[in-house]
Amino acid sequence: MLIALFGAVESGVIYAIMALGVYLSFRVLDFPDLTVDGSFVTGAGISAILIVNGTSPVIATLIGALAGFIAGCLTGLLHTAGKINALLAGILMMIALYSINLRFMGQPTVSLLNESTLISQIQSAWASTGIDTGLNAVLQALGADRVPTTWGIFIVMTVLTVVIKFLLDYFLKTEIGLAIRATGDNQKMIRSLSANTNFLIIVGIGLSNALVALSGALVGQLGGFANLNMGIGMIVIGLASVIIGEALFGKKTITRVTLAVILGAIVYRIVVTLALRVDFLESSDLKLITAVLVIAALVTPKVLQARREKKRRLAKRAALVEQKEREASA
């Protein structure tokens, strides 16, 4: 159980990078970008095939992210220059990427099991530090009977995700970042303030997909393979993370939302892990669980809000009746 949860948090931190990308397109630019399903695989596939062919894992991962950036820019171009509806532009790019990814990968699955990947490098570098023994001793003292094999991946990936979060926070407050946010908020206004909204959309969707592809590359290396179908439903998982995060942890400021999105991605993984341990649910039910989660995260806050409002009105009404009675008796 503990190991399963640890695994959930570990992969949650990596998926959080993808969720930040989805946040950038879906929330900041108000652009429902379905490229994600394809660009996630692009990141995983290209980095995997490069690693298999002997490229250093760091470079391979960065090239994977770059490929995602290019794919996103193309979606942005379809939407701005081609004037294609945002949803359709994303779907077209997603479909095109399916073939493109297969071209790059050469086969539907690229195995990384015997390769030196970023993840295995972190693992071995970490093992030499000996921090694991200390952390696991603490866990065992707390009564855990089984302990994680390595803390390295979790800690290094958390640092990476947090660094990306802070970079994103900073970026969204720069002059260019403000213009990107305004593009999602009021395009007419920011155009009248001399911003090239088409360029900003292209760059914004590009960056979003770069994060998605980076996440894909890391997920592929963590799992030990890249598969042509590993991106199916990724956009929904990204949305789930954003929506769950916002519902649970608030969305008042940029810094707050980006943190909420990361936590949302982790919560999503934990919930899925727990759900799959329920006897009658099978791993093929994963997509259904995701859909139910998103629906719950969307509906619950509204229901709670409506209930609070009703309670408030009833209280006011009771107070009014009381006041009237007092006035009548006076």
Residues that bind another protein (CB under 8 A): 170-171, 173-179, 181-182, 185-186, 188-197
In the bound complex, what is the minimum distance in angstroms from residue 223's beta carbon to another protein?
35
- Quote the Cα angle for 207-157-122, to 5°: 120
Beta carbon of residue 186, minimum distance to another protein (angstroms, whole number): 5
At position 19, the amino acid (one-letter code) is A
Shorter beta-carbon distance to another protein: residue 57 or 206: 206
Whole-number minimum distance, CB 83 to another protein, in Å? Answer: 15
**Conformation bin of residue 30: beta by default, left when phi > 0, alpha when psi is -120 to 50:** left
Nearest approach, Cβ of 66 to another protein (angstroms)? 19
Q: Cβ of residue 256: shortest distance to another protein, in angstroms?
A: 13
Q: Which is nearer to another protein, 180 or 263 (CB)?
A: 180
| Token pair recorded at residue 241 | 């993370």
DSSP string covering 24-59: IIIIIS----TTHHHHHHHHHHHHHHHHHTT--HHH
Least separation in angstroms between residue 4's CB and another protein is 39
- What span, in angstroms and rounded, lies between the C-alpha atoms of 21 and 53? 28
- State the minimum distance, in angstroms, from the CB of residue 187 to another protein: 10
CB closer to another protein, 139 vs 191: 191
Q: What is the rounded CA–CA span in Å between residue 230 and residue 216?
A: 9
To the nearest 10 degrees (0 to 180), the angle between helices 197-223 and 2-22 is: 160
Smaller CB separation from another protein, 137 or 193: 193
- Least distance from another protein to the Cβ atom of residue 59, Å: 24
- Tell me the C-alpha distance between 310 and 321, whole Å: 17
| Distance separating alpha carbons of residues 6 and 158, to the nearest angstrom | 13
Largest CA distance in the chain: 91
Q: Are 268 and 244 contacting, i.e. CB atoms less than 8 angstroms apart? A: yes
Closer to another protein by Cβ: residue 85 or 186: 186
CA nearest neighbour of 244 among 292, 204, 305, 187: 292
Nearer to another protein, 114 or 194 (CB): 194
On whether the CB atoms of residues 259 and 249 are closer than 8 A, the answer is yes
Instruction: Determine how many CB atoms are found less than 10 A away from the CB of residue 287.
Output: 12
Show contacts of 85-88: CB within 8 Å, 24+ apart. 86/31, 86/32, 86/33, 87/32, 87/34
Q: Whose Cβ is closer to another protein: residue 55's or residue 187's? A: 187
Of 185 and 309, nearer to another protein (C-beta) is: 185
